[in-house]
Structures are given as C-alpha cells and as structure tokens.
Structure 1
Amino acid sequence: MSHDPPRRPAGRLLLTPDDKEAPARTERLRRLGLGKRPEPALDAFAGRLAEHTATPYAMVNLPDEQGQFYAGLHLPPAAPPARPDGGTRPGVGRRLPRDHGFCPHVLARRKALVLEDVRDFPRFAGNAIVDEYGIHSYLGAPLIDSTGTALGTVSVADVTPRTWGRSGLETIKQAAGELVVRLERGTEGGLPL
C-alpha cells in the first residue's frame, strides 16, 4: 500500500492535513448553537475585520466533518478578478472543500499562519484557492475555546501579495482571541458581537 500523497494533475502536492478533531469540533459547535447557518453577527465581524485590514475577503470558518463552512463572510462588492487565461473565477460561497484554502492548516497547527505571497511556498502555491479564486495572500488564526477545542479560524485574504508583518499577525491573533470569548458567551437571542 502506497503512502505517497495524492498529486494534482499539474504535479503539485496536495498536502491538506488530516482533521482528527472534526468530530469533537462538530459536537462542540452544536452545543454552542453554531456552524449550521450563516450568522449575521459573524458577517458583521468579518466586515469589520476586512475594513480594519483593508482586505477584500474576511472569514469566520467553522468547519465540520463535511468541509469548511463560513458562518461569517465578507466578500468584495465587485466580481472576482479574471483568471490569467481570460476566463472568469467562481464566486466564493459559504462552503468549500477541506482541500481549498489554508484554514485547515491553521487548525492542524493550532497557531496563526501568515502567507504574504502563497506562491512563494510550494506547499501552498498549488492550492485550488490560488488557481480558482486568485488568492495570493492569507492571514489566519485559530479559534481555540476554553475547552481546548479548535472551533475554527478567523482569516483574511487578498488577491495581491501583502506584507502583513508583526502588526498583521497581532491583529489576527487578537481578533481570534476576542471572537472565541464572544462565541462561548453567545446568547440565544444572537451573538453579542
């Protein structure tokens, strides 16, 4: 039995880490009343984060066993940029497969991930989010609650390379820390964001 990682048709490695915490995360999110539907308060949080970081995309990702789910999402108002071949890119929706994007890596690492230009990293350059959506930079941090469960991630992304620096890293870590407290403190009438 071969243990070689699967390869993309272009020969790029697919290195999405296993998500061993998915069952526990799904159960914890269920107990918190999260992860099944978009949350207007999380959309607003993502909007404020996008504005603060001057990025077109901001997400609150609460993945389950089926894949990624953006309970909070901020998208640019304009259509996605054209592909280099002249075609159009798909719009980002609330759900993405696990192998799209970088949030699964943040969950596996359980710490922030800073990618100023994802194309500089062979492990990430071949990700479908780069080719399909034109994402070239990413900044994300895990949402680790008081039980030690990684509930998901908070992230921002851009279609151009970005120099995030220490201030970007501190911003995303602070946003994640503040949000996870609010998620645990959530009320039936809505999230206190």
Structure 2
Amino acid sequence: MQKFSLRDLELIDGPPHPEFDNLTRLAQRTIGAPVALLSTIDSDAKRQFFTSQTGLGGPAAEDRHAPLSHSFCQHVIQKDAPVAVEDAPNPPPDLGTGIAPGLGIGSYLGVPVYRPGGVPAAVLAVIDDKPRAWTEADISLLRQLAFCATDAIRTRATMLEMAHINRERREFTYAVSHDLKSPANTLNLLLQELDAERDRLSEDGIFLLEQSQKTAARMMRQMNDILEYSRVVGARIQKRDIDLNTLAGELVQDLQGEIQHAGATVDIGPLPVVTGNRMQLRCLFQNLITNGITFRSGARKPIVSITSVSGANKGQERIDVTDNGAGISTSDQQQIFQLFKKLHNPNEYDGTGIGLTLSRRICSNHNGLLEVSSEVGQGSTFRVTLPSGSSAT
C-alpha cells in the first residue's frame, strides 16, 4: 500500500470526522472521564493536533491543537505503549516535569493508535480533572477503542489508495485512447483517398475497402466511447435541476438522421424535472434511445417511448425507456451492463459494448439506478431512477 502522510489521512489539520468523534464520545462515556481525545503528534511543528475531541474546553478546543510541552501523548508515541499518569502535575520522572495545575489536567491515560504499516501515529486518550488510579479494565477498554481508531485509519488509507489507483487508471485510459485517435484519423484519411480511386479497384478490392472502412469507423467509435467512459468514472459532477422534457426533445432533434434512416418513431410522454448533470444525463438518454433504434427486431419499424412512471421512492423519479426491439434473454440481462460485453455479432448489430456500462455508471453518479426487463422478440424496458428536482413536492 502507498504510504500516505498524516495530512493525506486528514489526521493533522483535517476536518472533524464522525468515525473518530463517535470513538472519543464512547471513550468519555464508558470510562467516565470528562475529556477524551484522539491526538496526533505533529513533530515538525512541535504540537499535538486534536483530530477529535470530546469535552475539551478553552482555546485548545477552538484551535484543535496544543504545544507538546502540554502533552503526555508524545510519550505514548515514543514508548509505543500505554501511558497511565495518576497525578498529572507530579508524573513519573521519565515523563518530564509534569503538567501545570492551571490546565485542569489531574490524571491521564493514553494508548497508541496506528497508521498502516504498524507505525504509531496518534493517541486515544482520556483525561480526568483530578488524580485517578487507572484500572486494568480502563486500559483494556481504551485499547479496544484504539483498535477501532486504527481500523478507521486503515480504511481511510485504503480508500485513498483506491482513489489514487482509479485516478491513474482513468488518466491512463484517457491518454491511450486519445493518442490512438491520431493514427486512426490517419487511417481514415488514407481509406478516403483509396475510396476516391474506387473505379480502379477490382470487385474484391472494393469489398476489402468497404470492410476496412467499417472496421476503422467501429474503432473510432470505440475509442470515443472509451474516452467518454474515462471522463465519467469517478468524476465529480455539478448538478442542477434538469427538465427532461426539454432534454429529450433536443435529443430527438439531434438524432433525426438516425431516426429517419431507421424509419423509427420516438414518443415522449410528460417527463419530470430531476437533479443532475446535463451532459451526463444527455449521454444516458441518448444511449438508451439509440439502443432502441439499433437493436431492432427483423423488419419491424423501431418504436421507442420515454415515459414517467409513478411509484418511485420519495425524492426520486422513475423514467422508463421502452422499445419494441430484439429483446434480451433473462440470462443476459445483467451481462449487458458489463464493459465491452456484446451479445450480438458486429455484422448483425453495430456497437462498442460500452454504452450501457456508461449509462449505469451515470445513474450511479446520480445516486440512481438503471435496470432492465425484457423478453426476446418483444422488446426491452430500461428503468431509470434519478433524484427529483428541487422544485418537486
């Protein structure tokens, strides 16, 4: 696992985190001490940063840090072991000169908390305002809570690692797909030049040219789809209210060429306002409409309908995109959402195997769902669930 700094892990100068605040509250209540802290030692600045605190007052609570001169926590880190101080102003000689009485620290108990790799990074501590003989039960309980804090830090590091890997993968995919477009464009230009000499080619030569053109076009579409997918995966998106009536109407206008070529009909019922990212929602519904036109059943003219359906949970809208196409067998209905998964021969139906994966990812980005119900030869219905717009009642 990649090594992250204490700042990367937001243990120093980071915002409050519920998982740590819950632990300090639990430590305070179960051990019965007025103050509980998750304290991270910032050696460079010679201070301790209170990653979480419960019951602390005064400037230290507001600033969330204190100098190491006021800290027993540094000794917990140095010893990598629990430190129990029954009389804070008069501690054992190996813990320094003690804590000034004016700070209200009568006794102290701290145990180490670890970062990935088993290195002590922070201290879970409880503080009493009067001298106290800490029991083995107190120490054992605080250790158990410290294990939970260690697990929370390990989880945080794992999430950072996954985010880093996903970002690298996304950037790599984008770079490779982008760089491959240049030779693909060159290939298309060469094929166009060759097509201009079509009358000089044999019948076999024309056949090979047309097959090459289809392959090059399919390759370009696939690279464009990969680029679009790399933009969507893990992307942070800005959301606003989107009127799906307007968006769907614009899509039908933009797809008029495909619709007329296929002799298709696209019906749009009254649609709701949802909260989302316009570009991504446009991509979602364009994919679903195009699929309904592309995967037709025999000579039957494609019909695609987009309707709003009641029955969604509160705060959500359900939109169904239904077609009369070839349909999908029950066993294949989850496979169609897998990346590059194609159920048909490329010569039978055009496609890159990315569109539905991308569509489901877009729904996930919006905390929504994309599901399908279908029957072979009878068409398919794609059920889209999205958050309601802010004006919805």
TM-score w.r.t. length of structure 2: 0.35
C-alpha separation in 2, matches of 1:68 and 1:61: 6
SS in structure 2 of the partner of residue 99 of structure 1: helix
* C-alpha distance 54-45 of structure 1, shift in aligned 2 (>3 A): same
C-alpha separation in 1, matches of 2:12 and 2:123: 12
Q: What 5-or-longer segments of structure 2 have no aligned partner?
A: 161-393
Larger radius of gyration: 2
Q: Could you tell me which residue of structure 2 aligns to residue 70 of structure 1?
A: 50
User: Which residue among 56, 73, 94 is the counterpart of 2:34?
Assistant: 56
1:110 to partner: Cα distance? 0.6
2:13 maps to 1:45? no
Q: Could you tell me which residue of structure 1 aligns to residue 289 of structure 2?
A: none
User: Which residue among 119, 123, 127 is the counterpart of 1:157?
Assistant: 127
Identity of aligned residues (%): 25
C-alpha separation in 2, matches of 1:152 and 1:175: 13
What is the RMSD computed on CA atoms of the aligned residues? 2.3
Runs of 4 or more consecutive aligned structure 1 residues displaced over 6 Å after TM superposition: none
Q: What 5-or-longer segments of structure 1 have no aligned partner?
A: 1-24, 81-89, 189-193
C-alpha separation in 2, matches of 1:122 and 1:63: 21
**What are the Cα deviations for residues 11-38 of structure 1, in whole angstroms up to 9, with x where unaligned?**
xxxxxxxxxxxxxx9x532342432224
1:122 to partner: Cα distance? 5.1
**What are the Cα deviations for residues 58-77 of structure 1, in whole angstroms up to 9, with x where unaligned?**
0001122211100100116x
Query: 1:72 corresponds to which letter in structure 2?
Result: S
Q: Could you tell me which residue of structure 2 aligns to residue 167 of structure 1?
A: 137
TM-score w.r.t. length of structure 1: 0.68
C-alpha separation in 1, matches of 2:5 and 2:28: 27
C-alpha separation in 2, matches of 1:37 and 1:132: 29
**What are the Cα deviations for residues 72-118 of structure 1, in whole angstroms up to 9, with x where unaligned?**
00116xxx7xxxxxxxxx55331101111200110100110111222
* C-alpha distance 130-173 of structure 1, shift in aligned 2 (>3 A): farther
SS in structure 1 of the partner of residue 111 of structure 2: strand
C-alpha separation in 2, matches of 1:163 and 1:173: 17
Q: Could you tell me which residue of structure 1 aligns to residue 155 of structure 2?
A: 185
Asked if structure 2 preserves the Cα contact closer than 8 Å seen for 1:114 and 1:139, the reply is yes
SS in structure 1 of the partner of residue 6 of structure 2: helix
Q: Could you tell me which residue of structure 2 aligns to residue 5 of structure 1?
A: none
C-alpha separation in 2, matches of 1:32 and 1:134: 31
- Normalized per residue, which structure has more helix? 2
Q: Could you tell me which residue of structure 1 aligns to residue 266 of structure 2?
A: none
